[in-house]
Amino acid sequence: MASITIIDIAKMCGVGVTTVSRAINNHPDISEETKAMIMKVIKENHYVPNNSARNLKRSASKTIAVLIKGITNPFFNRMIQVFEKEIKRKKYSFILQRVDEHQDEIEVAIELEKEKRLKGIVFLGGYFSHSKEKLEQLTVPFVLSTIGMAPEFDPTEFSSVSVDDFKESYKIVDFLCSLGHRKIAIITAPMDDVSIGKLRYEGYKKALEDRGLQVDSRLVCSMKDHLESYSMENGYVVTKDLLESGEPFTALFAVSDSLAVGACKAIFESGKHVPGDYSVAGFDGLDIAYYYNPSITTIRQPVEEIAEETLRILFDLINKKQSHSHKIFPGELMIRESTARI
Protein backbone atom coordinates (compact mmCIF):
# COMPACT_ATOMS: atom_id res chain seq x y z
CA MET A 1 0.00 0.00 0.00
CA ALA A 2 2.81 2.36 0.83
CA SER A 3 3.13 4.70 -2.07
CA ILE A 4 6.22 4.71 -4.16
CA THR A 5 8.52 7.70 -3.67
CA ILE A 6 11.26 9.47 -5.50
CA ILE A 7 13.79 7.51 -3.47
CA ASP A 8 12.43 4.21 -4.72
CA ILE A 9 12.71 5.44 -8.27
CA ALA A 10 16.25 6.60 -7.66
CA LYS A 11 17.21 3.22 -6.29
CA MET A 12 15.61 1.36 -9.15
CA CYS A 13 17.45 3.49 -11.63
CA GLY A 14 20.69 3.31 -9.70
CA VAL A 15 20.94 7.09 -9.53
CA GLY A 16 20.51 9.76 -6.90
CA VAL A 17 17.27 11.48 -6.09
CA THR A 18 18.56 14.70 -7.53
CA THR A 19 18.83 13.17 -10.92
CA VAL A 20 15.31 11.86 -10.72
CA SER A 21 14.08 15.22 -9.59
CA ARG A 22 15.82 16.82 -12.55
CA ALA A 23 14.21 14.40 -14.91
CA ILE A 24 10.76 15.13 -13.52
CA ASN A 25 11.15 18.86 -13.56
CA ASN A 26 12.82 19.21 -16.92
CA HIS A 27 15.96 20.63 -15.53
CA PRO A 28 18.76 21.30 -17.97
CA ASP A 29 21.63 19.64 -16.16
CA ILE A 30 20.88 16.08 -17.10
CA SER A 31 21.81 13.92 -20.03
CA GLU A 32 19.08 12.89 -22.40
CA GLU A 33 19.77 9.22 -21.91
CA THR A 34 19.55 9.12 -18.15
CA LYS A 35 16.48 11.27 -18.32
CA ALA A 36 14.79 8.94 -20.81
CA MET A 37 15.75 5.95 -18.74
CA ILE A 38 14.37 7.50 -15.57
CA MET A 39 11.15 8.55 -17.23
CA LYS A 40 10.69 5.05 -18.47
CA VAL A 41 11.03 3.58 -15.01
CA ILE A 42 8.65 6.21 -13.67
CA LYS A 43 6.04 5.30 -16.24
CA GLU A 44 6.42 1.61 -15.62
CA ASN A 45 5.97 1.99 -11.92
CA HIS A 46 3.25 4.59 -12.14
CA TYR A 47 5.16 6.93 -9.94
CA VAL A 48 3.35 10.18 -9.28
CA PRO A 49 5.13 12.92 -7.34
CA ASN A 50 3.39 14.00 -4.19
CA ASN A 51 2.07 17.49 -4.67
CA SER A 52 2.01 18.35 -1.02
CA ALA A 53 5.69 17.72 -0.70
CA ARG A 54 6.39 19.75 -3.79
CA ASN A 55 4.32 22.69 -2.69
CA LEU A 56 5.85 22.56 0.73
CA LYS A 57 9.34 22.80 -0.60
CA ARG A 58 8.79 25.05 -3.57
CA SER A 59 9.12 28.70 -2.82
CA ALA A 60 6.90 29.80 -5.66
CA SER A 61 4.82 28.17 -8.32
CA LYS A 62 3.37 29.71 -11.42
CA THR A 63 -0.23 29.28 -10.58
CA ILE A 64 -3.28 31.50 -10.54
CA ALA A 65 -6.37 30.66 -8.55
CA VAL A 66 -9.88 31.71 -9.44
CA LEU A 67 -12.20 31.75 -6.44
CA ILE A 68 -15.79 31.69 -7.44
CA LYS A 69 -18.82 32.29 -5.31
CA GLY A 70 -22.01 30.83 -6.65
CA ILE A 71 -20.66 28.39 -9.17
CA THR A 72 -24.18 27.48 -10.18
CA ASN A 73 -24.42 30.78 -11.98
CA PRO A 74 -24.25 30.01 -15.71
CA PHE A 75 -22.97 33.50 -16.16
CA PHE A 76 -19.55 32.36 -14.98
CA ASN A 77 -19.19 29.46 -17.38
CA ARG A 78 -17.94 31.53 -20.24
CA MET A 79 -15.65 33.52 -17.98
CA ILE A 80 -14.07 30.40 -16.60
CA GLN A 81 -13.33 29.20 -20.09
CA VAL A 82 -11.57 32.43 -20.89
CA PHE A 83 -9.63 32.33 -17.65
CA GLU A 84 -8.49 28.82 -18.25
CA LYS A 85 -7.43 29.47 -21.81
CA GLU A 86 -5.56 32.69 -21.06
CA ILE A 87 -3.86 31.40 -17.95
CA LYS A 88 -2.62 28.35 -19.79
CA ARG A 89 -1.44 30.51 -22.64
CA LYS A 90 0.72 32.40 -20.18
CA LYS A 91 2.17 29.09 -19.03
CA TYR A 92 0.64 29.40 -15.64
CA SER A 93 -1.42 26.71 -14.09
CA PHE A 94 -4.97 27.29 -13.12
CA ILE A 95 -6.93 26.36 -10.05
CA LEU A 96 -10.65 26.79 -9.82
CA GLN A 97 -11.85 26.95 -6.26
CA ARG A 98 -15.49 27.01 -5.37
CA VAL A 99 -16.42 29.12 -2.40
CA ASP A 100 -19.51 28.32 -0.45
CA GLU A 101 -22.21 30.94 -0.05
CA HIS A 102 -21.49 31.29 3.65
CA GLN A 103 -17.77 30.91 3.43
CA ASP A 104 -15.41 33.82 3.70
CA GLU A 105 -13.60 33.97 0.39
CA ILE A 106 -10.66 35.86 1.85
CA GLU A 107 -9.97 33.14 4.36
CA VAL A 108 -10.14 30.55 1.64
CA ALA A 109 -7.78 32.65 -0.41
CA ILE A 110 -5.27 33.07 2.39
CA GLU A 111 -5.17 29.37 2.99
CA LEU A 112 -4.89 28.55 -0.67
CA GLU A 113 -2.17 31.09 -1.20
CA LYS A 114 -0.01 29.37 1.37
CA GLU A 115 -0.84 25.91 0.25
CA LYS A 116 -0.28 26.41 -3.45
CA ARG A 117 2.17 29.30 -3.38
CA LEU A 118 -0.08 31.27 -5.67
CA LYS A 119 1.10 34.04 -7.91
CA GLY A 120 -2.26 35.71 -8.17
CA ILE A 121 -5.94 35.41 -7.36
CA VAL A 122 -9.16 36.28 -9.13
CA PHE A 123 -12.31 36.68 -7.09
CA LEU A 124 -15.45 36.02 -9.02
CA GLY A 125 -18.97 36.77 -7.86
CA GLY A 126 -20.37 37.52 -4.49
CA TYR A 127 -20.08 40.74 -2.64
CA PHE A 128 -16.97 42.25 -1.23
CA SER A 129 -16.98 43.73 2.20
CA HIS A 130 -13.86 42.76 4.04
CA SER A 131 -11.79 44.59 6.51
CA LYS A 132 -8.62 46.18 5.33
CA GLU A 133 -6.83 44.15 7.94
CA LYS A 134 -7.89 40.92 6.36
CA LEU A 135 -7.13 42.07 2.88
CA GLU A 136 -3.61 42.81 3.95
CA GLN A 137 -2.98 39.20 4.79
CA LEU A 138 -3.25 38.49 1.13
CA THR A 139 0.29 38.98 -0.03
CA VAL A 140 -0.23 38.23 -3.69
CA PRO A 141 -1.98 40.41 -6.25
CA PHE A 142 -5.69 39.87 -6.72
CA VAL A 143 -8.47 41.29 -8.85
CA LEU A 144 -12.18 41.40 -8.16
CA SER A 145 -14.25 40.50 -11.16
CA THR A 146 -17.99 41.13 -11.51
CA ILE A 147 -18.32 41.72 -7.83
CA GLY A 148 -20.59 44.15 -6.11
CA MET A 149 -18.53 46.49 -3.99
CA ALA A 150 -19.26 48.43 -0.86
CA PRO A 151 -18.78 52.07 -1.87
CA GLU A 152 -16.82 52.87 1.26
CA PHE A 153 -13.89 50.87 0.01
CA ASP A 154 -10.68 52.60 -0.74
CA PRO A 155 -10.09 52.05 -4.46
CA THR A 156 -6.36 52.32 -4.05
CA GLU A 157 -6.30 49.08 -2.16
CA PHE A 158 -7.57 46.68 -4.78
CA SER A 159 -8.35 46.25 -8.44
CA SER A 160 -11.64 45.40 -10.04
CA VAL A 161 -13.36 44.75 -13.31
CA SER A 162 -17.10 44.76 -13.81
CA VAL A 163 -20.03 46.57 -15.32
CA ASP A 164 -21.70 49.40 -13.51
CA ASP A 165 -24.67 47.52 -12.15
CA PHE A 166 -26.37 50.70 -11.07
CA LYS A 167 -26.02 52.39 -14.43
CA GLU A 168 -26.97 49.38 -16.52
CA SER A 169 -29.98 48.73 -14.39
CA TYR A 170 -30.94 52.36 -14.81
CA LYS A 171 -30.54 51.96 -18.54
CA ILE A 172 -32.93 49.06 -18.93
CA VAL A 173 -35.55 50.45 -16.57
CA ASP A 174 -35.37 53.73 -18.41
CA PHE A 175 -35.91 51.80 -21.61
CA LEU A 176 -39.06 50.27 -20.15
CA CYS A 177 -40.23 53.76 -19.24
CA SER A 178 -39.54 54.95 -22.75
CA LEU A 179 -41.92 52.27 -23.94
CA GLY A 180 -44.63 54.01 -21.99
CA HIS A 181 -44.62 51.79 -18.93
CA ARG A 182 -45.36 53.54 -15.69
CA LYS A 183 -46.11 50.68 -13.39
CA ILE A 184 -42.91 48.70 -13.43
CA ALA A 185 -42.42 45.89 -10.96
CA ILE A 186 -38.98 44.59 -9.96
CA ILE A 187 -37.74 41.29 -8.66
CA THR A 188 -34.63 41.93 -6.67
CA ALA A 189 -32.58 40.76 -3.73
CA PRO A 190 -34.00 41.00 -0.24
CA MET A 191 -33.59 44.50 1.14
CA ASP A 192 -31.02 43.44 3.70
CA ASP A 193 -28.84 42.16 0.90
CA VAL A 194 -25.80 44.16 -0.04
CA SER A 195 -24.86 42.64 -3.35
CA ILE A 196 -25.32 43.49 -6.98
CA GLY A 197 -29.01 42.91 -6.30
CA LYS A 198 -28.98 46.07 -4.25
CA LEU A 199 -27.07 48.07 -6.84
CA ARG A 200 -29.49 47.01 -9.53
CA TYR A 201 -32.39 47.99 -7.33
CA GLU A 202 -30.89 51.42 -6.80
CA GLY A 203 -30.64 51.85 -10.57
CA TYR A 204 -34.29 50.95 -10.89
CA LYS A 205 -35.23 53.47 -8.24
CA LYS A 206 -33.25 56.26 -9.78
CA ALA A 207 -34.60 55.59 -13.27
CA LEU A 208 -38.16 55.81 -12.02
CA GLU A 209 -37.47 58.94 -10.05
CA ASP A 210 -35.84 60.65 -12.99
CA ARG A 211 -38.97 59.92 -14.98
CA GLY A 212 -41.06 61.45 -12.25
CA LEU A 213 -42.43 58.09 -11.18
CA GLN A 214 -42.97 56.89 -7.66
CA VAL A 215 -41.43 53.69 -6.45
CA ASP A 216 -44.41 51.61 -5.41
CA SER A 217 -43.31 49.30 -2.62
CA ARG A 218 -46.03 46.85 -3.58
CA LEU A 219 -44.27 46.35 -6.89
CA VAL A 220 -40.88 45.77 -5.30
CA CYS A 221 -40.61 42.01 -4.89
CA SER A 222 -37.81 40.31 -3.03
CA MET A 223 -36.54 36.89 -3.94
CA LYS A 224 -37.58 34.20 -1.53
CA ASP A 225 -34.94 33.37 1.01
CA HIS A 226 -35.70 29.69 1.12
CA LEU A 227 -35.20 29.25 -2.62
CA GLU A 228 -31.95 29.43 -4.49
CA SER A 229 -31.26 33.06 -5.21
CA TYR A 230 -31.44 34.34 -8.76
CA SER A 231 -33.00 31.04 -9.86
CA MET A 232 -35.83 30.45 -12.28
CA GLU A 233 -37.87 28.92 -9.53
CA ASN A 234 -37.44 31.99 -7.41
CA GLY A 235 -38.59 34.24 -10.23
CA TYR A 236 -41.56 31.99 -10.83
CA VAL A 237 -42.74 31.92 -7.24
CA VAL A 238 -42.26 35.62 -6.66
CA THR A 239 -44.10 36.53 -9.84
CA LYS A 240 -46.94 34.21 -8.99
CA ASP A 241 -47.33 36.03 -5.69
CA LEU A 242 -47.25 39.36 -7.43
CA LEU A 243 -49.89 38.36 -9.94
CA GLU A 244 -52.12 36.98 -7.24
CA SER A 245 -51.81 40.15 -5.22
CA GLY A 246 -53.82 41.83 -7.94
CA GLU A 247 -51.52 44.82 -7.86
CA PRO A 248 -51.61 46.30 -11.36
CA PHE A 249 -48.42 46.64 -13.39
CA THR A 250 -47.45 46.51 -17.04
CA ALA A 251 -43.77 45.72 -16.96
CA LEU A 252 -41.46 43.62 -14.83
CA PHE A 253 -37.74 44.00 -14.42
CA ALA A 254 -36.02 40.93 -13.03
CA VAL A 255 -32.46 41.53 -11.90
CA SER A 256 -31.25 38.35 -13.59
CA ASP A 257 -32.22 36.48 -16.73
CA SER A 258 -33.02 33.33 -14.82
CA LEU A 259 -35.48 35.22 -12.65
CA ALA A 260 -37.00 36.66 -15.83
CA VAL A 261 -37.51 33.19 -17.26
CA GLY A 262 -39.33 32.09 -14.15
CA ALA A 263 -41.39 35.27 -14.23
CA CYS A 264 -42.48 34.59 -17.82
CA LYS A 265 -43.57 31.11 -16.87
CA ALA A 266 -45.71 32.42 -14.05
CA ILE A 267 -47.28 34.94 -16.39
CA PHE A 268 -48.07 32.26 -18.98
CA GLU A 269 -49.65 30.09 -16.34
CA SER A 270 -51.95 32.87 -15.33
CA GLY A 271 -53.19 32.91 -18.90
CA LYS A 272 -51.47 36.16 -19.79
CA HIS A 273 -48.93 36.96 -22.48
CA VAL A 274 -45.49 38.44 -22.80
CA PRO A 275 -45.18 41.11 -24.00
CA GLY A 276 -48.89 41.46 -24.80
CA ASP A 277 -49.98 41.79 -21.19
CA TYR A 278 -46.68 42.32 -19.45
CA SER A 279 -43.29 43.35 -20.69
CA VAL A 280 -40.44 41.45 -19.02
CA ALA A 281 -36.78 42.41 -18.87
CA GLY A 282 -33.81 40.57 -17.44
CA PHE A 283 -30.17 41.23 -16.74
CA ASP A 284 -26.88 39.49 -17.59
CA GLY A 285 -27.27 38.38 -21.19
CA LEU A 286 -27.28 34.64 -20.63
CA ASP A 287 -27.79 32.37 -23.61
CA ILE A 288 -31.19 31.41 -22.33
CA ALA A 289 -32.43 35.00 -22.60
CA TYR A 290 -31.84 34.75 -26.32
CA TYR A 291 -33.19 31.24 -26.75
CA TYR A 292 -36.27 31.71 -24.63
CA ASN A 293 -39.65 32.18 -26.23
CA PRO A 294 -40.18 35.05 -26.36
CA SER A 295 -36.56 36.09 -26.40
CA ILE A 296 -35.91 38.28 -23.40
CA THR A 297 -34.82 41.89 -23.40
CA THR A 298 -31.76 42.17 -21.19
CA ILE A 299 -28.47 43.85 -20.45
CA ARG A 300 -25.65 41.85 -21.89
CA GLN A 301 -22.50 41.89 -19.84
CA PRO A 302 -19.41 41.55 -22.00
CA VAL A 303 -18.15 38.45 -20.27
CA GLU A 304 -15.20 37.70 -22.49
CA GLU A 305 -13.90 41.23 -22.26
CA ILE A 306 -14.40 41.30 -18.52
CA ALA A 307 -12.48 38.06 -18.11
CA GLU A 308 -9.67 39.17 -20.37
CA GLU A 309 -9.30 42.53 -18.72
CA THR A 310 -9.32 40.88 -15.31
CA LEU A 311 -6.33 38.78 -16.26
CA ARG A 312 -4.58 41.64 -17.97
CA ILE A 313 -4.72 43.66 -14.78
CA LEU A 314 -3.73 40.68 -12.67
CA PHE A 315 -0.66 39.94 -14.75
CA ASP A 316 0.30 43.60 -14.77
CA LEU A 317 0.06 43.53 -11.02
CA ILE A 318 2.15 40.38 -10.85
CA ASN A 319 4.77 41.86 -13.11
CA LYS A 320 4.67 45.08 -11.15
CA LYS A 321 3.80 46.97 -14.28
CA GLN A 322 1.13 48.97 -12.55
CA SER A 323 -0.71 49.56 -9.36
CA HIS A 324 -4.36 49.01 -8.66
CA SER A 325 -6.82 49.90 -11.34
CA HIS A 326 -10.52 49.68 -11.90
CA LYS A 327 -12.18 48.99 -15.17
CA ILE A 328 -15.87 49.42 -15.81
CA PHE A 329 -17.30 47.89 -18.97
CA PRO A 330 -20.50 49.15 -20.51
CA GLY A 331 -23.32 46.66 -20.73
CA GLU A 332 -25.31 46.36 -23.89
CA LEU A 333 -29.08 46.78 -23.96
CA MET A 334 -30.42 43.88 -25.98
CA ILE A 335 -33.91 44.77 -27.11
CA ARG A 336 -35.81 41.61 -27.87
CA GLU A 337 -39.32 40.21 -28.00
CA SER A 338 -40.28 40.25 -24.34
CA THR A 339 -40.81 44.00 -24.16
CA ALA A 340 -43.26 46.13 -26.10
CA ARG A 341 -44.69 49.58 -26.20
CA ILE A 342 -47.65 49.76 -23.89
Partner DNA sequence: TTGTAGGCGTTATCAC
Partner DNA sequence: GTGATAACGCCTACAA
Residues contributing to the site for DNA (CB under 7 A)? 2-3, 5-7, 14-19, 21-22, 24-25, 28-31, 33-35, 47, 49-50, 53-54, 56-59
Pair 255, 197: CB distance under 8 Å: yes
Helix or strand holding residue 327 (H, E): strand 326-329
What is the smallest separation between the CB atom of 119 and DNA, expressed in angstroms?
14
Q: Is 293 in the site for a second copy (CB under 8 A)?
A: yes
Q: Is 236 in the site for a second copy (CB under 8 A)?
A: yes
Ramachandran quadrant class, 135 (left: phi over 0; alpha: psi -120 to 50; beta: rest):
alpha
What is the smallest separation between the CB atom of 205 and a second copy, expressed in angstroms?
28
- Report what 6 binds from DNA, a second copy, none; CB cut-off 5-8 Å by kind: DNA
Q: Is 287 in the site for a second copy (CB under 8 A)?
A: yes
Dist CA 142 CA 138 (whole Å): 8
Residue 107 CA, distance from chain mean position: 18
- CA proximity to 269, closest of 244, 249, 234: 244
SS3 93: strand
Q: Is 110 in the site for a second copy (CB under 8 A)?
A: yes
- Report what 268 binds from DNA, a second copy, none; CB cut-off 5-8 Å by kind: a second copy
Q: How many binding residues for a second copy (CB under 8 A)? A: 42
Site for a second copy in 133-152 (CB under 8 A): 137, 139
Collect all residues with Cβ–Cβ distance below 8 Å to 151 and sequence separation of at least 6.
none
The number of C-alpha atoms within 13 Å of 311 and in the hemisphere containing its C-beta is 23
What is the smallest separation between the CB atom of 321 and DNA, expressed in angstroms?
24
Pair 203, 170: CB distance under 8 Å: yes
* x/- track of binding to a second copy for residues 158-187 (CB under 8 A): ------------------------------
What is the smallest separation between the CB atom of 187 and a second copy, expressed in angstroms?
14
* x/- track of binding to a second copy for residues 22-61 (CB under 8 A): ------------------------x-x-xxxx-xx-----
Q: Is 132 in the site for a second copy (CB under 8 A)?
A: no
What is the smallest separation between the CB atom of 5 and DNA, expressed in angstroms?
3
Q: Is 292 in the site for a second copy (CB under 8 A)?
A: yes
Dist CA 18 CA 320 (whole Å): 34
Collect all residues with Cβ–Cβ distance below 8 Å to 22 and sequence separation of at least 6.
29, 30, 35
Q: Is 232 in the site for a second copy (CB under 8 A)?
A: yes
Peptide bond into 275 cis (omega under 30): yes
Dist CA 173 CA 186 (whole Å): 9
What is the smallest separation between the CB atom of 80 and a second copy, expressed in angstroms?
8
- Asked whether the CA dihedral 185, 190, 192, 193 is positive or negative, the reply is negative
Pair 125, 147: CB distance under 8 Å: yes
What values do phi and psi take at 267, rounded to 5?
-65, -45
Nearest to a second copy of 100, 244 (CB atom): 100
What is the smallest separation between the CB atom of 34 and DNA, expressed in angstroms?
4
**Binding segment (CB under 8 A) for a second copy, from list 30-38, 119-127, 151-159, 287-295:** 287-295
Ramachandran quadrant class, 246 (left: phi over 0; alpha: psi -120 to 50; beta: rest):
left
Binding site residues, a second copy, CB under 8 A: 1, 3, 46, 48, 50-53, 55-56, 71-72, 74, 77, 80, 84, 96, 98, 100, 110-111, 114-116, 137, 139, 231-233, 236, 261-262, 264-265, 268, 287-288, 290-294
